[in-house]
Structure 1
């Protein structure tokens, strides 16, 4: 008996079995055929659309080219004009899901040490270790699309993301939301700190630790940063140590709040109240607004007298029809909180100007706000 999912495929001397590796919670394909350099893109695309996976046995770089050719065939499908923002969002998610499912059908073998036994294959041992954990000696199979994502994440982790306000780089770990959008960092940098916040602040859902580092740079003597995800905790600790703030910031595993009260509590929850399709989407999607409502409903009990809670939230969900402003204000009021002020910033990311993006109208209208909340 094995404690992990397995995948089987036919060989000339009988069926074979290996461990199925995935970070997207996708079950192993039920039908698998062998493919190599002679496999055409049209045939590969047809099989993938039918739900048949292709286990690659040819040159690795040819497999990458085949995946690109399959991607081009997916992009030929026209978009539906004249639909509502909510319908556009739902269609976009459906399309992304179908795209991931189809492109995920091109599979690559891995040996027990995370080496790809194919010609011209790259070295991916460290990238796999960062995502899957140390090699366990088990031969395995993963989708090429996921492996390329692991390689990209490893490069981001090595290179880091430049944060001008810190005059330093933040290095995101695999599966931890990367601070490539700087709007929310700017908001925390420019909003005046409450007087008592120079002594203590809490940061809820720290992720890479970027906001905790910024608060430390601004002179907050003690910050308690929490997260529930072990990857995020390790990432935050590594970044804060590298930046020299380990003595100022305590990183704790907690579901939202640490024990006690603080004069400043900061939270940047996922902005979209929708169900994540994979574990990696939890930084973007907050099902039923659980983290948002958990923060609001618990904030008053964790603020010192006269303290402030900073909620950093985009109105992207409002423009998509996933949430209304009245719903947010009602949740703030029901939590016993009052809005003391609000800082706003417009998006700077490239998608906000990309008219070809199916969600362009909502992205162009988006405003990210820092809501200053106090207990009633």
Structure 2
């Protein structure tokens, strides 16, 4: 619960935070009279600003905080530049994430009270009840408080869900859109989907999709003629999202969805997995699609793959080498894990990323992103293949 005082009266409400952030140490009410510089100082000190003014002015204040968070005093900027100049790639990555986390804490200072039906009882407040319901489920009648930044994220997810993401590998419009739900990573990086769409299939009888997410890879395999699939995920949101997308695309009858950590029971001639690519700790649920602390999912997939492949079957591992360029996981380590799991590399298909940051010279991780390659590793059980091409 989060507590504050309103006109001398104590109040409290349910605290909502998808990132698992704790309740602010101190909460004060704020309105249109609060100056941006004062708000920034209070936010930097960890004070939550429970908004009681005009809603649109709260949005303007958030933009002002963003500008101030991006500006650094000259001495602080010089110190940061010196650190980055001598940092290794891994150190630069961790400094970048640390700066992102600090910025996020400041921008999370503006708090919005929600009524029991998710409505916002502030002047000029929009009606975001549908977006809140999609993210949090039906309203329970209990008042709550969330950060303005998180509410804007809910709205963005709601718009993505309505509009969808075009996936050319699924064929011609209009039946080529994936509609991501809140908290489920959107397939905006199409290069890994293209790898699944273009690599020769070892069989069209059965495939396992490990970590189904939005369902995009299951949909692509179904469109390629795979007759039956079993798709797993441990996140109920992802399973609901995948079900919705597979139903929209008309392939749900061929896909069995299971809540499971990694593999379903049994074996298949094709097992596909697109694990998070970076071995670092996630700071929010949606970041679990990008960050895999200790390479837990990657190692779990490799360790269990041989026991879930039919004789002669293939495991398709979709993995970027960004972690290698950032100094977080060397290529030799991946090859050792493959060998220790009793697997061999039957082949590898590579593609360069096409996303905007790969060409953005001002990005803090530009050098690593510019060198990045996304690969589909074709893996087989060692006993089922007489030799392995060089990786």
After TM superposition, the score normalised by the length of structure 1 is: 0.97
Is 1:28 paired with 2:23? yes
Query: 1:21 offset after TM fit, Å?
Result: 1.0
Q: 1:212 aligns with which of 218, 224, 232?
A: 218
Q: Tell me the alpha carbon deviations over residues 340-372 of structure 1, each in whole angstroms, 9 at most, x when there is no partner.
A: 000000010000111111011111110000000
Which residue does the alignment assign to 1:18? Answer: 13
C-alpha distance in 2 between matches for 1:316 and 1:286 = 13
Which residue does the alignment assign to 2:387? Answer: none
Which aligned pairs between 1:235-314 and structure 2 lie closer than 5 A? Answer: 235-314=241-320
C-alpha distance in 2 between matches for 1:123 and 1:236 = 27
Query: 1:249 offset after TM fit, Å?
Result: 1.1
Query: 1:248 offset after TM fit, Å?
Result: 1.1
Q: State the number of aligned residues.
A: 369
Query: 1:165 offset after TM fit, Å?
Result: 1.3
Q: Tell me the alpha carbon deviations over residues 126-172 of structure 1, each in whole angstroms, 9 at most, x when there is no partner.
A: 11111111101111111000000000011001111000111311000
Query: 1:106 offset after TM fit, Å?
Result: 0.6
Which residue does the alignment assign to 1:148? Answer: 152
Q: 1:183 aligns with which of 187, 191, 206?
A: 191
Q: Secondary structure at the match of 2:222?
A: helix
C-alpha distance in 2 between matches for 1:355 and 1:40 = 35
Q: 1:226 aligns with which of 232, 245, 248?
A: 232
Query: 1:13 offset after TM fit, Å?
Result: 3.0
Is 1:42 paired with 2:37? yes
Q: Secondary structure at the match of 1:247?
A: helix
After TM superposition, the score normalised by the length of structure 2 is: 0.93
Which residue does the alignment assign to 2:104? Answer: 100
User: What RMSD in Å do the two structures reach over aligned CA positions?
Assistant: 0.9
Which residue does the alignment assign to 1:327? Answer: 333
Q: Tell me the alpha carbon deviations over residues 90-109 of structure 1, each in whole angstroms, 9 at most, x when there is no partner.
A: 01111111111111011111
C-alpha distance in 1 between matches for 2:206 and 2:3 = 55
Q: Which moved more, 1:78-87 or 1:202-211?
A: 78-87
Unaligned runs of 5+ in 1: 1-5
Q: Tell me the alpha carbon deviations over residues 237-280 of structure 1, each in whole angstroms, 9 at most, x when there is no partner.
A: 11001100011111111111111111100000000011111222
Q: Secondary structure at the match of 1:203?
A: strand
Is 1:135 paired with 2:139? yes
Q: Secondary structure at the match of 2:24?
A: coil
C-alpha distance in 1 between matches for 2:115 and 2:261 = 37
C-alpha distance in 2 between matches for 1:241 and 1:286 = 29
Q: Secondary structure at the match of 1:193?
A: coil
C-alpha distance in 2 between matches for 1:157 and 1:292 = 28
